């Protein structure tokens, strides 16, 4: 017999699975052995950057690093339900207050000022995106990313580019797929394209004008103070910051 999965049953199952993987809560003072795993929660819009951090942390510590991507509301609900995990990675600044108000934040968040990218099959300029009839993919209006993009676009192109957005998604991989399938002429994403994407890339904006990527340590982390120092040292490493700010290959703009 089929039993529908209600929201309550879903989060109960997720909580059980996470607690089995990350039993216990709170830092283990004086712990010297490597943790079984370190979990990075992230929103879909921060997934690409969370995976960059995962690779850097795995290389820098030798620990097993797990990335758990969810929609922003589900990330918050999942953390409340499981009270397990180490770091939350996201560009939605409103999540900072939500995590703090629920007692889930541990210290200050790390901030990375990143840029936006236009992905297309053929080279384009920003002015090309404003031509009437262009089929563009863009970022969700909620969460601040779309507003941050609009702020860095030239003032005369903001309205026509926004009017051409036909599909919005927080997932860069979804927008990339639609560009490859010719369902979209171009997509504006908050993430460098993956290696081998075989798409033209145009960098848009950067620095303080953009919405920052945030990495918030979590209060329910099992890591000791010494282990957290190792994590933060990797996250602050200039090479890691550069990897987050630039697409694979270390170049901004142009073709892959």
Taking every pair of Cα atoms in the chain, the longest distance, rounded to a whole number of angstroms, is 62
Tokens of residue 224, six digits: 């000791």
- Phi, psi dihedrals of residue 172, rounded to the nearest 5°: -60, -35
DSSP conformational letter for 192: P
3-state secondary structure of 82: helix
Mean pLDDT across 188-213: 74
Q: What is the pLDDT of residue 206?
A: 53
pLDDT at 205: 67
Q: What 3-state class would DSSP assign to 16?
A: helix
**Distances from the Cα of 31 to the Cα of 19, 54, 156, 222, 249, angstroms:** 20, 22, 56, 9, 38
Residue 8 has pLDDT above 70, yes or no: no
Query: Bigger pLDDT: 17 or 56?
Result: 56
pLDDT at 141: 84
Residue 195: the pLDDT is 64
Tens of pLDDT, residues 227-250: 999 999 999 999 999 888 764 333
Q: Does the pLDDT at position 31 exceed 60? A: no
Q: What is the DSSP string of 153-165?
A: S-HHHHHHHHHTE
User: Given a cut of 90, is residue 128 above it in pLDDT?
Assistant: yes
* pLDDT at residue 253 is higher than 70: no
pLDDT of residue 159: 95
Query: Whats the size of the chain, residue-wise?
Result: 256
H/E run at residue 147: helix 145-152
**pLDDT tens digits for 65-109?**
999 999 989 999 999 999 999 999 998 888 999 999 999 999 999
Beta strand extents in 108-164 (DSSP E only): 110-113, 116-120, 136-138
Contact in structure between 193 and 172 (CB atoms under 8 Å): yes
| Domains detected in the chain | 35-113+211-245 (3.40.190.10), 116-209 (3.40.190)
Separation between Cα atoms, residue 169 and residue 180, nearest integer Å: 16
Evaluate if residue 30 carries a pLDDT over 80. no
And the tokens for 218? 């979590």
Write 246-254 long-range contacts (CB < 8 A, 24+).
246/192, 247/117, 247/192, 247/193, 247/201, 247/203, 248/192, 248/193, 248/194, 248/195, 249/195, 252/115, 252/203, 252/206, 253/201, 253/202, 253/203, 254/200, 254/201, 254/202
pTM summary value: 0.74
Q: Which residue has the higher pLDDT, 12 or 130?
A: 130
Over the Cα atoms of the chain, what is R_g? Answer: 19
Can you give the pLDDT at residue 217? Answer: 97
pLDDT computed for residue 204 by the predictor: 84
């Amino acid at each position: 017999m089929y039993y529908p999965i209600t929201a309550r049953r879903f989060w109960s199952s997720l909580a059980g699975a996470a607690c089995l993987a990350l039993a216990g809560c709170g830092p283990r003072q004086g712990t010297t052995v490597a943790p079984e795993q370190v979990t990075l929660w992230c929103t879909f819009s921060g997934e690409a950057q969370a995976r960059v951090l995962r690779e850097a942390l795995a290389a820098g510590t030798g620990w097993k690093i797990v990335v758990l991507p969810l929609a922003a509301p589900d990330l918050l609900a999942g953390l409340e339900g499981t009270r397990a995990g180490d770091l939350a990675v996201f560009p939605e600044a409103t999540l900072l207050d939500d995590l703090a108000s629920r007692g889930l934040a541990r210290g200050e968040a790390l901030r990375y000022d990143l840029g936006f990218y236009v992905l297309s099959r053929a080279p384009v300029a920003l002015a090309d995106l404003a031509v009437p009839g262009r089929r563009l993919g863009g970022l969700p209006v909620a969460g601040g990313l779309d507003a941050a993009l609009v702020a860095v676009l030239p003032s005369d192109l903001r309205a026509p580019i926004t009017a051409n957005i036909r599909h919005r998604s927080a997932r860069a991989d979804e927008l990339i797929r639609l560009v490859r399938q010719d369902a979209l002429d171009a997509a504006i994403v908050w993430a460098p394209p993956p290696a081998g994407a075989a798409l033209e890339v145009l960098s848009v904006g950067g620095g303080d004008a953009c919405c920052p990527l945030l990495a918030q340590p979590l209060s329910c982390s099992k890591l000791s103070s010494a282990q957290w120092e190792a994590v933060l040292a990797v996250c602050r490493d200039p090479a890691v910051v550069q990897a987050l700010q630039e697409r694979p290959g270390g170049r901004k703009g142009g073709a892959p």
